[in-house]
Amino acid sequence: MFGNNEKLALEAARELDATAEKLQDRDKRRGILGMVRCIYDVARHNLAKLEPLASDPAAFDRVILATPVWADHITPAARAFLIQQKERIKDLVLLSSSYFGPKNERFLADIEALLGRRPSASFLTTQKEIKDNSYQAKLNDFLRSLR
């Protein structure tokens, strides 16, 4: 919504020379009403209506998902992606920028419940660290550990 997770995804793609794709949510989520809609959908575990993917996750050894935390949970777009693609994802790595960053334990449990396993590695940072760029060295270390 604010571009923090897109920034993480694009940096990871650049560093790892990987393909990047944005999940395209067909629902409108801008403005105050959009925000209310986000929380309503998260609370009900509603799935976003996603545009078809350009790439097939099964074609890759590893899929890196970058997603914010909304109301302690993953977003409707990330939920829809994991439910639709879980059989086609060989290895899932998670990147996430949120307000509480590493404190969002419940969020990892959410992913485990959907995928049947935890992501093989995860990088949780805060929106504050994105803003002041202090996430960068940590992200580089994390991405190096994936090589």
Ligand X SMILES: Cc1cc2nc3c(=O)[nH]c(=O)nc-3n(C[C@H](O)[C@H](O)[C@H](O)COP(=O)(O)O)c2cc1C
Residues within the interface to ligand X (CB under 6 A): 1-6, 35, 38-39, 68-72, 97-100, 104, 127
Asked if 52 and 36 touch (Cβ cutoff 8 Å), the reply is no
- By beta-carbon proximity to ligand X, the closer residue of 2 and 59 is 2
- By beta-carbon proximity to ligand X, the closer residue of 21 and 88 is 21
- Which tokens in the block code for residue 112? 């485990």
SS3 64: strand
CB of 59 vs ligand X, minimal distance in Å: 25
Classify the C-alpha dihedral 2-14-93-141 as positive or negative.
negative
What is the phi/psi pair of residue 144, to 5°? -60, -35
CB of 41 vs ligand X, minimal distance in Å: 9
- By beta-carbon proximity to ligand X, the closer residue of 113 and 116 is 113
